[in-house]
Structure 1
Amino acid sequence: MPPEVIRHLSQDPVLAAIIEQTPAPQPAFTEWANDLYLALLESIVSQQISVKAADAIFRRFRALFADHYPHAAQLLKLTTEEMRGAGLSGQKIDYLRSVATFVSAHSLDRAYIDTLTDEEIVQYLLPIRGVGRWTVEMLLLFVLDRPDVFPIDDLVIRQRMMRAYPDQTTGLTGRALYKVLHQIADAWRPYRSTASRYLWQWKPDAVPAA
């Protein structure tokens, strides 16, 4: 982890304690780094199921294609029965078809996506059925490796922040809670992605944050 990032984040004493207690997160490398289309398909397959189950279903899904790559035109020709045979639910089949339809008319080329801001990417991908802000933020973090993403819609992030900052968050819910969490995270700019990775990896039940 670059020392200048740690120095900046450690200006927040609570986060400094978390960083001190927590092993450095691994780099946000993914084999789909240059294939946002495939990353979107995988993210949809992975929704609300275990990593092990998602990996198995995604392998069976890719095996439906001659070269194990779900080209959009070929995906759209698959029958519902064929896709169900890979272990996909009806809803996820609809979502995968939505990704294929989107990529048939819009670019997901990394060279183009890299010209967009984080928020522009969110708005660009939200029209795809099954893709919400949280899904896009995970892609920003773990596929595109954007440095300043704050995934406030992630339940674990909110829970860890409430645990780490009880004086500011106790009793708050809804918009009031979101406002305070954003205010806390503002101090982490422009490295909110790294702060978020530390929060995910932090074990609050093992060692107190402060």
Structure 2
Amino acid sequence: MTDINSSALTHLAQDPVMARIIAETPVPKLVNDYADDVYLALLESIVSQQISVKAADAIFSRFRALFPDKYPQADALLLKTTDELRSAGLSFQKIKYLQSVAEFSLEKPIDRVHLDALTDEEIVQYLLPIKGVGRWTVEMLLMFVLDRPDIFPIDDLVIRQRMLRAYPEQTNGLTGKALYKVLLSIAEPWRPYRTTASRYLWRWQAT
């Protein structure tokens, strides 16, 4: 994954609030754990849903250990019994979701060559038919695996909470669609570097 560039920081600093957040916050660590492997990243994201990072890491490690070279090839994953997959600590629902990823990958390409030719929104719509994969999941994939520079994951709870603290005058008392409209308006000037802004918001320790 590429480093945060100076052009992005200069552009974002035109927003005085974002300039303060950048000044107060250590540079976010940009790590790509999957070496652009969209398939594996989707499997991991499903395992991680609604559980702690520690628990997810342990379950995903046990899950991968069920396969040769610790890589859950799609055809091999679909041959595993429910009991085998349950032995890794997976719920019945997550097993269905993992199988959905495997089935999708055998029917349609999800490699970088194919996805890199699509726009951000085209990728969202392309992957949403996979059971267990929602917009937020795809947006995380866009940010951290596909390295797309202008993603604003407004459905992320932490992003919303940090923006409420950073922009109290604009967001005071707002909820629901009204809040979303204002948050999108605040983030609009951050284009085309909303991914960088979001990374800083995640790491910012709001006081």
What is the TM-score of this pair, normalised by structure 1?
0.95
CA deviation after TM superposition for structure 1 residue 34, in Å: 2.3
2:96 is matched with 94
1:62-77 equivalent positions in 2, closer than 5 A: 62-77=64-79
1:49 is matched with 51
CA deviation after TM superposition for structure 1 residue 72, in Å: 0.7
SS of the aligned residue for 2:70 comes to: coil
Decide whether the 8 Å contact of 1:125 with 1:131 is kept in 2. Answer: yes
Offset from partner CA, 1:29-72 (integer Å, 9 cap, x none):
31313210011001101111111111111111111112211111
Tell me, in whole angstroms, the C-alpha distance in 2 between the residues paired with 1:31 and 1:158.
Answer: 25
Report the residue type matching 2:79 in the other structure: K
Please, which runs of 5 or more residues in structure 1 have no aligned partner? 206-210
CA deviation after TM superposition for structure 1 residue 24, in Å: 1.0
Please, which runs of 5 or more residues in structure 2 have no aligned partner? none
- Moved >6 Å (runs of 4+): none
Offset from partner CA, 1:53-112 (integer Å, 9 cap, x none):
111111111111122111111111111111110000111001000001100100011111
Report the residue type matching 1:48 in the other structure: Q
SS of the aligned residue for 2:35 comes to: coil
SS of the aligned residue for 1:108 comes to: coil
2:27 is matched with 24
Tell me, in whole angstroms, the C-alpha distance in 2 between the residues paired with 1:170 and 1:36.
Answer: 38
Report the residue type matching 1:14 in the other structure: V
Tell me, in whole angstroms, the C-alpha distance in 1 between the residues paired with 2:5 and 2:65.
Answer: 40
CA deviation after TM superposition for structure 1 residue 203, in Å: 0.4
1:208 is matched with none
Tell me, in whole angstroms, the C-alpha distance in 1 between the residues paired with 2:96 and 2:133.
Answer: 12
Tell me, in whole angstroms, the C-alpha distance in 2 between the residues paired with 1:193 and 1:123.
Answer: 19
Identity %: 70
Tell me, in whole angstroms, the C-alpha distance in 2 between the residues paired with 1:26 and 1:77.
Answer: 37
Tell me, in whole angstroms, the C-alpha distance in 2 between the residues paired with 1:66 and 1:193.
Answer: 36
Q: State yes or no: 1:115 paired with 2:107.
A: no
1:4 is matched with 7
Task: Provide the alpha-carbon RMSD of the alignment.
Answer: 0.8
SS of the aligned residue for 1:30 comes to: coil
What is the TM-score of this pair, normalised by structure 2?
0.96
Q: State yes or no: 1:84 paired with 2:86.
A: yes
2:16 to 3, 8, 13: 13
Tell me, in whole angstroms, the C-alpha distance in 2 between the residues paired with 1:162 and 1:59.
Answer: 36
Offset from partner CA, 1:133-174 (integer Å, 9 cap, x none):
000000011111110000000000001001110111011111
Decide whether the 8 Å contact of 1:33 with 1:144 is kept in 2. Answer: no
2:161 is matched with 159
1:146 is matched with 148
